[in-house]
Amino acid sequence: MNYSDEQRVEAAYTEMEKNNEERGNEEESFANLELSLKTDKNKGQDTHYIYVANFNKKVSFHGKVYIKTIINNKIVDGEYTTKKITIKPGEKKQIDHFDGRRLYDSYSWEWKGELN
């Protein structure tokens, strides 16, 4: 789906807040880190924008995020690892983007780093 920049950011933040309400944890943990991938068509390729949020109250995340885009719930269409990032407590932001050849059905991610 094509979004304006403002709509894409708002959709990503809303999605992360909802997901955190559903699966967040009151303890400081990786369960309080959220990611949203939003895609726009851009000059023949799909651009995948990566948004993150840290719903922890005291600890920052330092590290990278490994992301997979998936088709038909089983075929890995794309893989991407972000540069090293820091997400402070309560922070939400776009951290990166990458280009792909097609849209995906779903995506997954893995935090590779530490909380402190």
- Residue 59, domain CATH: 2.60.40
pTM: 0.91
Residues in contact with 96: Cβ distance below 8 Å, sequence separation at least 6, in sequence order: 49, 50, 82, 83
pLDDT at 75: 81
Report how far residue 114's alpha carbon sits from residue 29's, in angstroms, rounded to the nearest whole number.
10
pLDDT at 114 > cutoff 90: yes
Domains in the chain, number: 1
pLDDT, one tens digit per residue, over 70-82 is 988 888 888 999 9
The boundaries of the domain holding residue 34 are 5-115
> Contact 94/58 with Cβ under 8 angstroms?
no
Q: Torsions phi, psi of 89, nearest 5?
A: -55, 130
85: β partners: 63
pLDDT, one tens digit per residue, over 25-67 is 889 999 999 999 998 866 566 889 999 999 999 999 999 999 9
